[in-house]
Amino acid sequence: MAKINFGGVEENVVTREEFPLEKAREVLKEETIAVIGYGVQGPGQSLNLRDNGFRVIVGQRKGSKSWDKAVEDGWVPGETLFEIEEAAERGTIIQYLLSDAGQIAVWPTIKKHLTPGKALYFSHGFGITYKERTGIIPPADVDVILIAPKGSGTSLRRMFLQGRGLNSSYAVFQDATGRAMERVIALGIGVGSGYLFETDFQREVYSDLTGERGTLMGAIQGIFAAQYDTLRAHGHTPSEAFNETIEELTQSLMPLVAENGMDWMYANCSTTAQRGALDWWKRFRDATKPVFEELYESVRSGNEAQISIDSNSKPDYRTKLNEELREMRESEMWQAGAVVRKLRPENN
């Protein structure tokens, strides 16, 4: 573990050079990793662990679409693919990767198989941080740890197959065995992390919920819609509005920001673009900062967690979700996007 200076603030990070895959395999050589859930994070993490040489099994409800997907991915029923309860019983490390609502529903089943010395692993701090609301309170004689990849399970898997790594945060909530830290670092390396940075369960969920509602999804969709609608209202065509709002950002500029930073991108665009961006970015910051403060307080107070728990537990949740997604998908902006994507050279 090394201390790295980030703009004057020291943080604990772990790289693959100082904790290589061989060391991770040695730490976990006697462990059976049971990945519970095969939805968002389950496939990427389990497949990466399997390909990296760890003993992995998957727990999923038989007869579900996710069960069928696991079979397609090479997990063998009765050998490496089991019903959730049997996988939890077999595993010495239980990777609890169901949705937040799913974790609440299945918790009684998982808890009875958390025998002394096992490890309970999360990729999101929600269940533990809001334990008074979720009811997820682990026994005192198991390790409780977290690896949270900073991206989707699909991205984690894709980058792994490209020989790259997706950065992840790590945390230890409870160290019952004295091995929680080496277990969590080994798992972080095993799932294909680029580097690992330290957090705790509360900070992870506060930053994650803020990010999802903010620049990762909610705020960016809102900004996209505001600019697109403004351009359309002033006579610009759907193609022009989409290209200037989204296509240029995602296909050209964001990869450059990822590689070199925003300052580099500013320095390598036209002087007209530089001047305008420098003049306007602080106005956007000042306009949105109050909204982000309101959002963070809603996360910190537990209000966002309760909204999620209440809505996700309703029997018609999936129907309403699909309707909201349909509304977005069928908006002119994203219909234009579908056409633009088909026109990309790689699709012709």
Active site residues: 124
End-to-end CA distance of the chain: 47
- Look at residue 33 and give its three-state secondary structure: strand
What the block records as the tokens of 262 is 């925003």
Quick one: 217 exposed, middle or buried, by C-beta within 10 A (0-12, 13-18, 19+)? exposed
Q: At which residue do the structure tokens 């792994």 appear?
A: 160
66 is in an annotated binding site: no
22 is in an annotated binding site: no
Helix (H) or strand (E) holding 147: strand 143-149
Work out the number of other CB atoms within 10 angstroms of the CB of residue 318.
10
The answer to whether the CB of 143 falls within 8 A of the CB of 179 is yes
What the block records as the tokens of 130 is 């809001």
- The Cα–Cα gap between 155 and 234 comes to 37
270 is in an annotated binding site: yes
198 is in an annotated binding site: no
240 is in an annotated binding site: no
The binding site for Mg(2+) comprises 208, 212, 244, 248
The binding site comprises 208, 212, 244, 248, 270
